[in-house]
Protein backbone atom coordinates (compact mmCIF):
# COMPACT_ATOMS: atom_id res chain seq x y z
CA UNK A 1 0.00 0.00 0.00
CA UNK A 2 1.42 3.41 -0.97
CA UNK A 3 1.89 5.99 1.75
CA UNK A 4 -0.40 9.00 1.86
CA UNK A 5 1.35 12.09 0.48
CA UNK A 6 2.49 14.51 3.15
CA UNK A 7 1.05 18.02 2.96
CA UNK A 8 3.43 20.55 1.45
CA UNK A 9 3.83 24.16 2.53
CA UNK A 10 2.11 25.36 -0.62
CA UNK A 11 -1.39 26.68 -1.04
CA UNK A 12 -3.84 27.41 -3.80
CA UNK A 13 -5.16 30.96 -4.06
CA UNK A 14 -8.28 31.86 -5.99
CA UNK A 15 -8.30 35.67 -6.10
CA UNK A 16 -11.73 36.27 -7.56
CA UNK A 17 -13.56 39.29 -8.92
CA UNK A 18 -16.36 38.89 -6.37
CA UNK A 19 -15.12 36.25 -3.90
CA UNK A 20 -11.75 34.74 -3.02
CA UNK A 21 -10.66 31.46 -1.43
CA UNK A 22 -7.44 29.78 -0.29
CA UNK A 23 -6.82 26.07 0.02
CA UNK A 24 -4.22 23.71 1.47
CA UNK A 25 -4.33 20.05 0.45
CA UNK A 26 -4.03 17.63 3.39
CA UNK A 27 -4.98 13.94 3.55
CA UNK A 28 -8.43 13.40 5.00
CA UNK A 29 -9.26 17.08 5.44
CA UNK A 30 -11.11 19.63 3.37
CA UNK A 31 -8.81 21.78 1.33
CA UNK A 32 -10.45 25.19 1.74
CA UNK A 33 -9.36 27.25 4.73
CA UNK A 34 -11.75 29.45 6.75
CA UNK A 35 -11.05 33.09 5.94
CA UNK A 36 -13.73 35.09 7.73
CA UNK A 37 -14.98 33.55 10.96
CA UNK A 38 -15.98 30.06 9.79
CA UNK A 39 -16.68 31.13 6.19
CA UNK A 40 -14.57 29.56 3.44
CA UNK A 41 -14.91 32.56 1.12
CA UNK A 42 -13.75 36.13 1.55
CA UNK A 43 -15.67 38.64 -0.59
CA UNK A 44 -13.10 40.59 -2.63
CA UNK A 45 -13.93 43.89 -0.94
CA UNK A 46 -11.90 46.52 0.93
CA UNK A 47 -13.30 49.43 2.95
CA UNK A 48 -11.01 52.28 3.98
CA UNK A 49 -12.45 54.17 6.96
CA UNK A 50 -12.26 57.94 6.75
CA UNK A 51 -12.23 58.58 10.52
CA UNK A 52 -9.07 56.57 11.20
CA UNK A 53 -6.56 54.29 9.51
CA UNK A 54 -8.72 51.19 9.97
CA UNK A 55 -9.22 48.96 6.93
CA UNK A 56 -11.84 46.21 6.81
CA UNK A 57 -12.19 43.33 4.37
CA UNK A 58 -14.83 40.98 3.02
CA UNK A 59 -18.21 40.83 4.70
CA UNK A 60 -17.01 43.18 7.42
CA UNK A 61 -16.14 45.76 4.75
CA UNK A 62 -19.59 45.52 3.20
CA UNK A 63 -21.22 45.76 6.64
CA UNK A 64 -19.20 48.87 7.53
CA UNK A 65 -20.22 50.53 4.28
CA UNK A 66 -23.90 49.63 4.62
CA UNK A 67 -23.89 50.77 8.27
CA UNK A 68 -23.04 54.25 7.04
CA UNK A 69 -19.41 54.60 8.08
CA UNK A 70 -17.56 57.32 6.19
CA UNK A 71 -14.95 55.93 3.86
CA UNK A 72 -14.07 54.38 0.51
CA UNK A 73 -15.41 50.99 -0.61
CA UNK A 74 -13.56 49.10 -3.34
CA UNK A 75 -14.70 45.89 -5.03
CA UNK A 76 -13.96 43.92 -8.22
CA UNK A 77 -10.29 44.94 -8.14
CA UNK A 78 -9.38 41.87 -10.20
CA UNK A 79 -11.23 43.44 -13.13
CA UNK A 80 -8.44 46.02 -13.36
CA UNK A 81 -5.84 43.41 -14.38
CA UNK A 82 -5.10 43.81 -18.07
CA UNK A 83 -6.42 47.39 -18.20
CA UNK A 84 -4.55 50.69 -18.31
CA UNK A 85 -5.89 51.52 -14.84
CA UNK A 86 -3.36 49.09 -13.32
CA UNK A 87 -0.69 51.74 -13.99
CA UNK A 88 -2.75 54.49 -12.38
CA UNK A 89 -3.39 55.79 -8.86
CA UNK A 90 -6.58 56.46 -6.94
CA UNK A 91 -7.27 58.65 -3.92
CA UNK A 92 -7.63 56.81 -0.61
CA UNK A 93 -7.85 58.78 2.65
CA UNK A 94 -6.48 61.88 0.95
CA UNK A 95 -3.44 60.26 -0.66
CA UNK A 96 -2.74 58.82 -4.08
CA UNK A 97 -2.35 55.03 -3.95
CA UNK A 98 -1.36 52.84 -6.93
CA UNK A 99 -4.01 50.30 -7.87
CA UNK A 100 -1.27 47.65 -7.79
CA UNK A 101 -0.74 48.39 -4.09
CA UNK A 102 -4.46 47.99 -3.41
CA UNK A 103 -4.47 44.55 -5.03
CA UNK A 104 -1.35 43.62 -3.05
CA UNK A 105 -3.07 44.78 0.15
CA UNK A 106 -6.09 42.54 -0.45
CA UNK A 107 -4.10 39.48 -1.60
CA UNK A 108 -1.74 39.97 1.34
CA UNK A 109 -4.68 39.92 3.74
CA UNK A 110 -6.03 36.81 2.00
CA UNK A 111 -2.65 35.10 2.45
CA UNK A 112 -2.38 36.14 6.12
CA UNK A 113 -5.83 34.75 6.89
CA UNK A 114 -4.98 31.47 5.14
CA UNK A 115 -1.74 31.19 7.14
CA UNK A 116 -3.57 31.91 10.39
CA UNK A 117 -6.12 29.19 9.62
CA UNK A 118 -3.42 26.70 8.59
CA UNK A 119 -1.07 27.54 11.44
CA UNK A 120 1.89 27.89 9.09
CA UNK A 121 3.49 30.26 6.59
CA UNK A 122 3.00 29.82 2.86
CA UNK A 123 5.80 30.91 0.54
CA UNK A 124 4.70 28.78 -2.45
CA UNK A 125 1.36 28.93 -4.20
CA UNK A 126 -0.58 28.08 -7.31
CA UNK A 127 -2.69 31.08 -8.30
CA UNK A 128 -5.80 30.73 -10.39
CA UNK A 129 -6.18 32.81 -13.51
CA UNK A 130 -8.89 33.11 -16.17
CA UNK A 131 -8.20 31.57 -19.57
CA UNK A 132 -8.06 35.15 -20.85
CA UNK A 133 -7.50 38.22 -18.69
CA UNK A 134 -7.83 40.15 -21.96
CA UNK A 135 -9.72 38.86 -24.99
CA UNK A 136 -7.87 38.69 -28.34
CA UNK A 137 -4.61 40.28 -27.13
CA UNK A 138 -1.95 37.76 -26.10
CA UNK A 139 0.64 40.34 -25.07
CA UNK A 140 -1.81 42.24 -22.86
CA UNK A 141 -2.95 38.96 -21.37
CA UNK A 142 0.64 38.01 -20.49
CA UNK A 143 1.23 41.46 -18.94
CA UNK A 144 -1.82 40.91 -16.74
CA UNK A 145 -0.41 37.61 -15.46
CA UNK A 146 3.03 39.16 -14.97
CA UNK A 147 1.42 41.99 -12.99
CA UNK A 148 -0.46 39.52 -10.79
CA UNK A 149 2.76 37.58 -10.18
CA UNK A 150 4.60 40.77 -9.23
CA UNK A 151 1.79 41.69 -6.84
CA UNK A 152 1.81 38.19 -5.29
CA UNK A 153 5.56 38.41 -4.66
CA UNK A 154 4.99 41.62 -2.68
CA UNK A 155 2.93 39.54 -0.22
CA UNK A 156 5.84 37.17 0.53
CA UNK A 157 5.16 34.41 -1.99
CA UNK A 158 8.44 33.28 -3.56
CA UNK A 159 7.54 30.28 -5.71
CA UNK A 160 4.47 30.95 -7.83
CA UNK A 161 2.74 28.87 -10.47
CA UNK A 162 -0.46 29.62 -12.36
CA UNK A 163 -3.33 27.39 -13.36
CA UNK A 164 -6.38 28.10 -15.47
CA UNK A 165 -9.38 28.33 -13.18
CA UNK A 166 -11.60 25.85 -15.05
CA UNK A 167 -8.78 23.28 -15.03
CA UNK A 168 -8.47 23.71 -11.27
CA UNK A 169 -12.23 23.14 -10.97
CA UNK A 170 -11.80 19.96 -13.04
CA UNK A 171 -9.18 18.69 -10.56
CA UNK A 172 -11.66 19.21 -7.73
CA UNK A 173 -14.35 17.29 -9.62
CA UNK A 174 -11.85 14.54 -10.45
CA UNK A 175 -11.24 13.95 -6.73
CA UNK A 176 -14.92 12.97 -6.35
CA UNK A 177 -15.40 10.42 -9.16
CA UNK A 178 -14.60 6.73 -9.58
CA UNK A 179 -14.36 6.35 -13.36
CA UNK A 180 -12.89 8.19 -16.31
CA UNK A 181 -15.00 10.93 -17.89
CA UNK A 182 -14.77 13.58 -20.57
CA UNK A 183 -15.88 16.73 -18.79
CA UNK A 184 -16.81 20.19 -19.99
CA UNK A 185 -16.06 22.58 -17.12
CA UNK A 186 -18.17 25.75 -17.20
CA UNK A 187 -16.80 28.36 -14.80
CA UNK A 188 -18.82 31.57 -14.74
CA UNK A 189 -17.10 33.91 -12.30
CA UNK A 190 -17.55 37.54 -11.42
CA UNK A 191 -15.43 38.86 -14.28
CA UNK A 192 -14.91 36.07 -16.82
CA UNK A 193 -16.48 32.94 -18.25
CA UNK A 194 -13.95 30.13 -18.68
CA UNK A 195 -14.24 26.65 -20.14
CA UNK A 196 -12.12 23.53 -20.34
CA UNK A 197 -12.72 20.23 -22.05
CA UNK A 198 -10.67 17.68 -20.13
CA UNK A 199 -10.38 13.94 -19.50
CA UNK A 200 -10.43 13.17 -15.78
CA UNK A 201 -10.39 10.00 -13.71
CA UNK A 202 -8.77 8.27 -10.74
CA UNK A 203 -5.91 6.85 -12.81
CA UNK A 204 -5.09 10.26 -14.27
CA UNK A 205 -5.32 12.18 -10.99
CA UNK A 206 -1.81 11.40 -9.75
CA UNK A 207 0.00 12.44 -12.91
CA UNK A 208 2.28 15.45 -12.56
CA UNK A 209 1.80 16.40 -16.21
CA UNK A 210 -1.80 16.73 -17.40
CA UNK A 211 -1.27 18.55 -20.70
CA UNK A 212 -2.41 15.61 -22.83
CA UNK A 213 -5.66 15.33 -20.86
CA UNK A 214 -6.73 18.87 -21.79
CA UNK A 215 -8.47 18.86 -25.17
CA UNK A 216 -9.27 22.59 -25.29
CA UNK A 217 -9.63 25.69 -23.13
CA UNK A 218 -11.34 28.95 -23.90
CA UNK A 219 -12.95 31.95 -22.32
CA UNK A 220 -14.55 35.33 -22.75
CA UNK A 221 -14.38 38.45 -20.59
CA UNK A 222 -17.99 38.21 -19.44
CA UNK A 223 -19.05 37.38 -15.89
CA UNK A 224 -21.47 38.04 -13.09
CA UNK A 225 -20.55 41.72 -12.74
CA UNK A 226 -21.44 42.17 -16.42
CA UNK A 227 -24.84 40.63 -15.73
CA UNK A 228 -25.24 43.06 -12.81
CA UNK A 229 -24.29 45.98 -15.04
CA UNK A 230 -26.70 44.94 -17.79
CA UNK A 231 -29.58 44.52 -15.32
CA UNK A 232 -28.81 47.85 -13.67
CA UNK A 233 -28.72 49.72 -16.99
CA UNK A 234 -31.96 48.08 -18.13
CA UNK A 235 -34.01 48.31 -14.96
CA UNK A 236 -32.57 50.82 -12.48
CA UNK A 237 -30.71 53.55 -14.34
CA UNK A 238 -33.77 54.63 -16.40
CA UNK A 239 -35.36 55.59 -13.04
CA UNK A 240 -32.39 57.91 -12.53
CA UNK A 241 -32.65 59.50 -15.96
CA UNK A 242 -30.87 57.18 -18.38
CA UNK A 243 -32.61 57.51 -21.76
CA UNK A 244 -34.48 60.66 -20.74
CA UNK A 245 -34.17 63.91 -22.65
CA UNK A 246 -32.57 67.29 -22.14
CA UNK A 247 -34.57 70.45 -22.89
CA UNK A 248 -32.73 70.64 -26.21
CA UNK A 249 -34.24 67.30 -27.23
CA UNK A 250 -30.92 65.48 -27.00
CA UNK A 251 -30.68 62.32 -24.92
CA UNK A 252 -29.12 62.44 -21.48
CA UNK A 253 -25.37 61.56 -21.57
CA UNK A 254 -24.90 57.93 -20.54
CA UNK A 255 -21.44 58.08 -18.90
CA UNK A 256 -22.67 58.79 -15.31
CA UNK A 257 -24.99 55.78 -15.52
CA UNK A 258 -22.36 53.44 -16.92
CA UNK A 259 -19.97 54.49 -14.14
CA UNK A 260 -22.60 53.77 -11.48
CA UNK A 261 -23.52 50.41 -13.04
CA UNK A 262 -19.89 49.19 -13.14
CA UNK A 263 -18.38 48.10 -9.83
CA UNK A 264 -14.82 49.35 -10.32
CA UNK A 265 -15.86 52.78 -11.71
CA UNK A 266 -18.57 53.72 -9.18
CA UNK A 267 -16.20 55.99 -7.27
CA UNK A 268 -15.66 58.09 -10.41
CA UNK A 269 -19.24 59.33 -9.98
CA UNK A 270 -18.27 61.03 -6.70
CA UNK A 271 -15.60 63.42 -7.97
CA UNK A 272 -16.08 67.22 -7.89
CA UNK A 273 -15.98 67.30 -11.68
CA UNK A 274 -18.68 64.61 -11.93
CA UNK A 275 -20.87 66.45 -9.40
CA UNK A 276 -20.54 69.73 -11.34
CA UNK A 277 -21.53 67.96 -14.56
CA UNK A 278 -24.50 66.41 -12.79
CA UNK A 279 -25.69 69.84 -11.58
CA UNK A 280 -25.48 71.14 -15.14
CA UNK A 281 -27.45 68.15 -16.46
CA UNK A 282 -30.11 68.75 -13.81
CA UNK A 283 -30.53 72.34 -14.99
CA UNK A 284 -31.00 71.14 -18.59
CA UNK A 285 -33.12 68.05 -17.81
CA UNK A 286 -36.66 67.75 -19.12
CA UNK A 287 -37.48 65.20 -16.39
CA UNK A 288 -36.00 66.79 -13.26
CA UNK A 289 -37.38 64.28 -10.68
CA UNK A 290 -35.29 61.48 -12.22
CA UNK A 291 -32.16 63.64 -12.09
CA UNK A 292 -32.95 64.53 -8.48
CA UNK A 293 -32.92 60.81 -7.65
CA UNK A 294 -29.53 60.56 -9.36
CA UNK A 295 -28.24 63.56 -7.41
CA UNK A 296 -29.50 62.02 -4.18
CA UNK A 297 -27.71 58.76 -4.98
CA UNK A 298 -24.41 60.54 -5.65
CA UNK A 299 -24.77 62.92 -2.69
CA UNK A 300 -25.31 59.94 -0.39
CA UNK A 301 -22.42 58.04 -2.08
CA UNK A 302 -24.91 55.21 -2.41
CA UNK A 303 -23.69 53.83 -5.73
CA UNK A 304 -22.26 50.69 -4.15
CA UNK A 305 -25.45 50.25 -2.14
CA UNK A 306 -27.53 50.31 -5.33
CA UNK A 307 -25.13 47.92 -7.07
CA UNK A 308 -25.54 45.51 -4.15
CA UNK A 309 -29.34 45.72 -4.44
CA UNK A 310 -29.12 44.89 -8.15
CA UNK A 311 -26.74 42.00 -7.48
CA UNK A 312 -29.05 40.58 -4.84
CA UNK A 313 -32.00 40.89 -7.23
CA UNK A 314 -30.05 38.98 -9.90
CA UNK A 315 -29.29 36.23 -7.39
CA UNK A 316 -32.94 36.10 -6.30
CA UNK A 317 -34.10 35.86 -9.92
CA UNK A 318 -31.91 32.80 -10.38
CA UNK A 319 -34.29 30.94 -8.07
CA UNK A 320 -37.53 32.89 -8.32
CA UNK A 321 -39.59 34.61 -11.01
CA UNK A 322 -39.88 37.94 -9.17
CA UNK A 323 -37.56 40.09 -7.03
CA UNK A 324 -38.17 43.36 -5.22
CA UNK A 325 -35.69 46.20 -4.65
CA UNK A 326 -36.40 48.74 -1.90
CA UNK A 327 -34.98 52.05 -3.17
CA UNK A 328 -36.25 54.07 -0.21
CA UNK A 329 -32.73 55.31 0.45
CA UNK A 330 -32.88 57.51 -2.66
CA UNK A 331 -36.65 57.69 -3.30
CA UNK A 332 -38.76 57.59 -0.14
CA UNK A 333 -41.30 54.77 -0.05
CA UNK A 334 -40.50 53.41 -3.52
CA UNK A 335 -39.92 49.76 -4.45
CA UNK A 336 -38.93 48.34 -7.83
CA UNK A 337 -40.30 44.96 -8.91
CA UNK A 338 -38.18 42.94 -11.34
CA UNK A 339 -39.19 39.81 -13.25
CA UNK A 340 -37.05 36.94 -14.53
CA UNK A 341 -37.96 37.93 -18.09
CA UNK A 342 -36.38 41.36 -17.55
CA UNK A 343 -33.13 39.75 -16.42
CA UNK A 344 -33.20 37.41 -19.42
CA UNK A 345 -33.68 40.33 -21.83
CA UNK A 346 -30.95 42.37 -20.17
CA UNK A 347 -28.32 39.63 -20.37
CA UNK A 348 -29.39 37.91 -23.59
CA UNK A 349 -26.53 39.30 -25.73
CA UNK A 350 -23.96 38.44 -23.03
CA UNK A 351 -25.26 34.88 -22.71
CA UNK A 352 -25.17 34.52 -26.49
CA UNK A 353 -21.47 35.43 -26.46
CA UNK A 354 -20.84 32.79 -23.78
CA UNK A 355 -22.82 30.22 -25.77
CA UNK A 356 -20.81 30.99 -28.92
CA UNK A 357 -17.56 30.62 -27.00
CA UNK A 358 -18.56 27.14 -25.83
CA UNK A 359 -19.57 26.18 -29.37
CA UNK A 360 -16.16 27.28 -30.72
CA UNK A 361 -14.44 25.31 -27.97
CA UNK A 362 -16.11 22.08 -29.09
CA UNK A 363 -15.18 22.77 -32.73
CA UNK A 364 -11.57 23.56 -31.79
CA UNK A 365 -11.33 20.31 -29.84
CA UNK A 366 -12.81 18.29 -32.69
CA UNK A 367 -15.32 16.78 -30.24
CA UNK A 368 -19.00 16.17 -30.86
CA UNK A 369 -21.39 17.13 -28.09
CA UNK A 370 -22.48 13.50 -27.75
CA UNK A 371 -18.94 12.53 -26.63
CA UNK A 372 -19.13 14.69 -23.49
CA UNK A 373 -20.05 12.72 -20.38
CA UNK A 374 -20.53 15.57 -17.90
CA UNK A 375 -20.99 19.34 -17.83
CA UNK A 376 -19.56 20.59 -14.54
CA UNK A 377 -20.79 24.02 -13.47
CA UNK A 378 -18.85 26.19 -11.04
CA UNK A 379 -18.52 29.91 -10.33
CA UNK A 380 -21.10 32.05 -8.59
CA UNK A 381 -22.88 33.12 -11.77
CA UNK A 382 -23.16 29.67 -13.33
CA UNK A 383 -26.56 29.32 -11.66
CA UNK A 384 -28.16 32.01 -13.85
CA UNK A 385 -31.00 30.03 -15.46
CA UNK A 386 -30.77 31.46 -19.00
CA UNK A 387 -27.05 30.79 -19.18
CA UNK A 388 -27.33 27.25 -17.86
CA UNK A 389 -30.19 26.44 -20.25
CA UNK A 390 -28.23 27.69 -23.28
CA UNK A 391 -25.07 25.75 -22.39
CA UNK A 392 -26.92 22.52 -21.63
CA UNK A 393 -28.80 22.82 -24.94
CA UNK A 394 -25.42 22.45 -26.66
CA UNK A 395 -24.75 19.15 -24.84
CA UNK A 396 -28.18 17.53 -24.44
CA UNK A 397 -26.87 14.04 -23.68
CA UNK A 398 -24.38 15.09 -21.00
CA UNK A 399 -24.97 14.75 -17.28
CA UNK A 400 -25.25 18.10 -15.44
CA UNK A 401 -23.26 18.40 -12.21
CA UNK A 402 -23.11 21.47 -10.01
CA UNK A 403 -19.91 21.82 -8.04
CA UNK A 404 -19.19 24.09 -5.11
CA UNK A 405 -19.98 27.33 -6.93
CA UNK A 406 -17.55 29.34 -4.84
CA UNK A 407 -15.07 26.69 -3.70
CA UNK A 408 -14.27 24.24 -6.50
CA UNK A 409 -11.52 26.37 -8.01
CA UNK A 410 -9.76 27.01 -4.70
CA UNK A 411 -9.92 23.32 -3.77
CA UNK A 412 -8.56 22.34 -7.18
CA UNK A 413 -5.73 24.86 -6.92
CA UNK A 414 -4.77 23.33 -3.57
CA UNK A 415 -4.60 19.89 -5.20
CA UNK A 416 -2.48 21.34 -8.00
CA UNK A 417 -0.15 22.98 -5.45
CA UNK A 418 0.31 19.58 -3.79
CA UNK A 419 1.29 18.06 -7.14
CA UNK A 420 3.49 20.90 -8.36
CA UNK A 421 5.46 21.50 -5.15
CA UNK A 422 5.63 18.06 -3.53
Q: How confident is the model at residue 2 (pLDDT cuts 50, 70, 90)?
A: very low
Q: Which helix (H) or strand (E) holds 164?
A: strand 159-164
Of 92, 33, 32, 35, the C-alpha closest to 58 is: 35
DSSP string, 356-413: HHHHHHHHHHT--GGG--EEEEESTTTT-HHHHHHHHHHSTTSEEEE--TTTHHHHHH
192-217 pLDDT, tens digit each: 999 999 999 999 987 878 889 999 99
Query: How close are the terminal C-alpha atoms of the chain, in Å?
Result: 19
Q: How confident is the model at residue 6 (pLDDT cuts 50, 70, 90)?
A: low
- Domains of the chain (ranges plus CATH)? 10-178+404-421 (3.30.420.40)
87-146 pLDDT, tens digit each: 999 888 888 999 999 999 999 999 999 999 999 999 999 999 999 999 889 999 999 999
Give me the pLDDT at residue 252, please. Answer: 96
Q: Read off φ and ψ for residue 375, nearest 5 degrees.
A: -105, 120
Contact 308, 266 (CB under 8 A): no
Contact 262, 190 (CB under 8 A): no
C-alpha to C-alpha distance for 130 and 167, rounded to whole angstroms? 10
Give me the pLDDT at residue 1, please. Answer: 41
What is the mean predicted confidence (pLDDT) over 13-23?
97
307-351 pLDDT, tens digit each: 999 999 999 999 999 999 988 888 888 899 999 999 999 999 999
Region of poorest pLDDT, from 78-92, 188-202, 378-392: 78-92
Question: What is the pTM (predicted TM-score) of this model?
Answer: 0.91
Amino acid sequence: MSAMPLPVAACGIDFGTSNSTAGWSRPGQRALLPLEDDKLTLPSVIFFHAEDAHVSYGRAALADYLDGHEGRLMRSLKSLLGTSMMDEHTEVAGRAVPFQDLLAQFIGELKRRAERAAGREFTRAVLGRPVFFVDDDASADQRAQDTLEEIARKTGLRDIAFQYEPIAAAFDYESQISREELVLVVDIGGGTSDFTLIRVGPERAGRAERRDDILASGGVHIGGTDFDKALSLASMMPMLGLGSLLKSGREMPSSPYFNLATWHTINQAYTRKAWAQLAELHRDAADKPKLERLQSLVRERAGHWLALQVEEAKISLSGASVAHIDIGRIAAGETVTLHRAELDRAIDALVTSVEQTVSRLLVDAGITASAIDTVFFTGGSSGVPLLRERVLALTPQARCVEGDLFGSIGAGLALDAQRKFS
